[in-house]
Amino acid sequence: MKKILMALLACLLIAGCSSKEAKEEHASCVIEQAGLMTMDVDFSAKNDEITEMVMKITIDSSLFGGVDFSTMDDEAKGQVKDAMLEQLGISEDTKGLTTEVDFTDTMVVTVGIDLNTASKEDLKKIGLDIENTDMSFKRLLEDSEKEGYTCTKK
């Protein structure tokens, strides 16, 4: 009986020591376009597969004819926000997506994407085809840098 218990304990110890926790990685990639717009994308991954993305797009007011965003009333801000989200193909009630639009001297659109929760169809609407795309963390960073982004691992 004692030998059986020792064998079971040894198996549990080996199994516990050899099990791997998920490797988590994070990075941020930034690109600026002609001083008018900046896109900052934060990626989170587990075991080299992207699980979450947060895109922060900062838009200079000159793209809107030099409008002073800080003087806009709430109704006007709501209209601009709705138009921006519609152009991006995003609905505020889409599962797995969070949106926020802030107005100061610039307009900042932040879109959070949980790739484990959002449906593939909703992701396709916003231009993310995860069924036909390699969602490898390493590959995504390499591809982003080839497209002109500056990426930094966190």
C-alpha torsion angle, residues 22, 145, 30, 92 (rounded to 10): -60
Residue 47 within a domain: yes
d(CA 91, CA 26): 26
Which CATH number does the domain housing residue 44 bear? 3.30.1830.10
Residues of the chain with pLDDT below 70 are 1-20
pLDDT at residue 83 in the model: 87
Residue 90 within a domain: yes
How are beta strands 150-153 and 24-33 bridged, if at all? antiparallel
The total number of structural domains that make up the chain: 1
pLDDT at residue 20 in the model: 67
Residue 7 within a domain: no
**In sequence order, which residues have a C-beta less than 8 Å from that of residue 27 and are 6 or more positions away?**
42, 43, 137, 141, 151, 152, 153, 154
Residue 2 within a domain: no
Read off the pLDDT of residues 59-75 as tens digits, 9 standing for 90 and up. Answer: 998 888 888 888 889 99
d(CA 32, CA 28): 13
The residue range of the domain holding 56 is 22-153
Sign of the CA dihedral running 67, 68, 70, 71: negative
pLDDT at residue 45 in the model: 95
pLDDT at residue 17 in the model: 45
pLDDT at residue 13 in the model: 36
- Residue matched to tokens 């009986």: 1
Is the full-model pTM beyond 0.85?
A: no
